[in-house]
Chain A
């Protein structure tokens, strides 16, 4: 565990209402640099809603958050991506008809600069940049463990590979915080185990990871700290061992079955 006192993300009293329904209320938490932070909770607890607020897809109804020292209230997705939050989606959202390599290359967009004139003139700077994009994207594909050729269409990859491709695409944006929305959903035991290794490697490379997961075993074995949401409220936060014993958590989530 490499806890530093440095805080990467701090939310303060974030609330989100959909009409009369309060999906999130008063969620205050912080994520430290270099940790794997787990977000768990029963279905409908507001985990993905919080994710969407943090990545700019939703505007919070109340509260705000600080990321890497800058305050955000109503962020736009591309602004937050530029600031360094990259995400994957619960229901995989790849560019299905583009190749695996192109998917990752699109992730490099935010860190590269060639515009219309660069594209038209295709000058040295643009060519060098294109080469760097391709190279880095190839590296990322093998980094996440996609062995198939980069020219394979995203939609022709296996389910586990698609999940990994989403991670590679997110990593291509050079994030400070990698936010993963149920990356292990639908994976078998082997795939989950190698995902766990991948996430540890990513953490060790210095990228902070925010993880929503249903697989409690994975969360408990992987996360440095965990927050539990229930009905849009944070009911517990701390190291996994401590959260596991929290009576409120047991009542809300772990007590319900043998998950």
Chain B
């Protein structure tokens, strides 16, 4: 009972800290950092979505960013003047659907693409699945790059710009709003929007994890043959995992498009898929808190480097010797190697992963289990 009370207090403290985060960041580091934090939230959402596919169901997906792209282009096409170019007769001013319609639509379309990817890969496992999903990710990107002819659907490599900002209840998030006399700049407003959606994805992940569906996913991950012999329809459940993961990616993509106001295929390269996968693996596959931590670390790392490395080199040597971008890859590679050697289950490993790698303490585990059930 006491532990329960304590955890409620902790949760309340966390919520308050998160609500104040944009203001604190703004005051301490400046407006540009709030924007960086906003992007980190999008990455967390992506990583949590991928965690459903990779962490729960054990399906290695290397093309996950494709669903982000699908969501982003969904929003871009239905919330910008662009379609006027392709279909001037039908949409003389483009399509401008409200955000609350576009967002679920983007999630559903991305979910559909998830099933589309999942269906032909049902028999594949491990490396083979990874290769096919990698190909799928690239196909989507290349399509976006080339679908400017014969009908200009995606505007090719130039991307789609002038995307409508997100507006909630008639209030555009792209301009400073005053609520109770407090000024909320656009980046702050987007932060709260993203926070709400991240919380939603966390909630969904957590509920799924501890359910009949989540157990079936874990069974498939552990032993697909035994799972099917126990009556689990592996085909449907794998498709469901792909769809759920893709929906989270699609929603995140739509938010990205609204926030950025511009999308182009180069935002959806293979490297992005790899980064999101690294967030999941680095943080702790299958563990929500771990995945969030991984997302925060990897999303912030390049920005931190950019702000520290260049000034530090300037101060030390008077010029920039190492480009922060190359340093980022160097550090990142080193971090991954060190991780695999010393914490192969991730920074905050899941209950199951920890056991798999044999670093579990049965006594402690039992008490944790009893406390949460």
List residues of A whose CB falls within 8 A of some B CB: 55-57, 76-78, 81-82, 86-87, 89, 93-99, 102, 105-107, 109-112, 114-116, 118-120, 122, 126, 129-130, 133, 149, 151-153, 155-156, 169-170, 172-173
Evaluate whether A109 and B215 lie within 8 angstroms (CB atoms) in the complex, with A81-B231, A120-B204, A173-B231 already known. yes
B231 lies within 8 A of A97 (CB): no
B211 lies within 8 A of A118 (CB): yes
Evaluate whether A120 and B207 lie within 8 angstroms (CB atoms) in the complex, with A95-B226, A107-B230, A109-B231 already known. yes
A81 lies within 8 A of B226 (CB): no
Residue B323 at the A interface, CB < 8 A?
A: no
Q: Which residues of A contact B366 (CB under 8 A)?
A: 149, 151
A93 lies within 8 A of B226 (CB): yes
List residues of B whose CB falls within 8 A of some A CB: 203-204, 207-208, 211-216, 218-219, 222-223, 225-234, 240, 244, 352, 355-356, 360, 362, 365-366, 369-370
The residue of chain A having its C-beta at the shortest distance from the C-beta of B357 within the complex is A97
Q: Which residues of B contact A126 (CB under 8 A)?
A: 211
The residue of chain B having its C-beta at the shortest distance from the C-beta of A95 within the complex is B222
> Within the complex, which residue of A98, A112, A122, A130 is in contact with B222, where a contact is CB–CB below 8 Å?
A98
Evaluate whether A115 and B225 lie within 8 angstroms (CB atoms) in the complex, with A78-B233, A95-B218, A151-B365 already known. no
Evaluate whether A87 and B229 lie within 8 angstroms (CB atoms) in the complex, with A98-B218, A149-B366 already known. yes
B230 lies within 8 A of A169 (CB): yes
Evaluate whether A151 and B369 lie within 8 angstroms (CB atoms) in the complex, with A114-B213, A119-B207, A120-B208 already known. yes
> How far is B229's CA from A122's CA once the two chains are assembled, in angstroms?
27
The residue of chain B having its C-beta at the shortest distance from the C-beta of A101 within the complex is B369
Q: Which residues of B contact A130 (CB under 8 A)?
A: 211-212
> Within the complex, which residue of B222, B234, B370 is in contact with A96, where a contact is CB–CB below 8 Å?
B222
B352 lies within 8 A of A110 (CB): no
> How far is B225's CA from A93's CA once the two chains are assembled, in angstroms?
9
Q: How far is the CB of A247 from chain B (nearest CB, A)?
A: 37
Q: How far is the CB of B230 from chain A (nearest CB, A)?
A: 5
Q: Which residues of B contact A129 (CB under 8 A)?
A: 212
> How far is B351's CA from A102's CA once the two chains are assembled, in angstroms?
13
Contacts across chains A and B counted by CB atoms under 8 Å: 118
A-B contact pairs, 10 of them (CB 8 A): A57-B229, A77-B225, A81-B229, A81-B231, A86-B230, A109-B215, A116-B240, A120-B203, A130-B211, A149-B366
The residue of chain A having its C-beta at the shortest distance from the C-beta of B366 within the complex is A151
Q: How far is the CB of A195 from chain B (nearest CB, A)?
A: 20
Evaluate whether A82 and B231 lie within 8 angstroms (CB atoms) in the complex, with A95-B219, A95-B223 already known. yes
Q: How far is the CB of A202 from chain B (nearest CB, A)?
A: 17
Q: How far is the CB of B112 from chain A (nearest CB, A)?
A: 16
Q: How far is the CB of A210 from chain B (nearest CB, A)?
A: 14
Q: Which residues of B contact A114 (CB under 8 A)?
A: 211-213
B244 lies within 8 A of A106 (CB): no
> How far is B208's CA from A99's CA once the two chains are assembled, in angstroms?
18
Q: How far is the CB of B41 from chain A (nearest CB, A)?
A: 21
> How far is B245's CA from A116's CA once the two chains are assembled, in angstroms?
13
Evaluate whether A57 and B230 lie within 8 angstroms (CB atoms) in the complex, with A120-B204, A151-B369 already known. no
A78 lies within 8 A of B234 (CB): yes
Q: How far is the CB of B283 from chain A (nearest CB, A)?
A: 19
Contacts A110-B231, A172-B230 known; 18 new A-B pairs at CB < 8 A: A81-B230, A81-B231, A86-B229, A89-B226, A97-B222, A99-B369, A106-B230, A109-B219, A109-B231, A110-B230, A116-B240, A116-B244, A119-B212, A119-B214, A120-B203, A126-B211, A130-B212, A151-B366
A97 lies within 8 A of B355 (CB): yes
Q: Which residues of A contact B222 (CB under 8 A)?
A: 95-98
Q: Which residues of A contact B212 (CB under 8 A)?
A: 109, 112, 114-115, 118-119, 129-130, 133
> How far is B207's CA from A118's CA once the two chains are assembled, in angstroms?
9
Q: How far is the CB of B207 from chain A (nearest CB, A)?
A: 5
> Within the complex, which residue of B223, B231, B244 is in contact with A78, where a contact is CB–CB below 8 Å?
B231
> How far is B119's CA from A144's CA once the two chains are assembled, in angstroms?
39
The residue of chain A having its C-beta at the shortest distance from the C-beta of B230 within the complex is A107
> Within the complex, which residue of B213, B226, B228, B355 is in contact with A116, where a contact is CB–CB below 8 Å?
B213
Q: Which residues of A contact B234 (CB under 8 A)?
A: 78
> Within the complex, which residue of B213, B219, B352, B355 is in contact with A115, where a contact is CB–CB below 8 Å?
B213
Q: Which residues of B contact A95 (CB under 8 A)?
A: 218-219, 222-223, 226-227
Q: Which residues of A contact B214 (CB under 8 A)?
A: 119
Q: Which residues of A contact B223 (CB under 8 A)?
A: 93-96
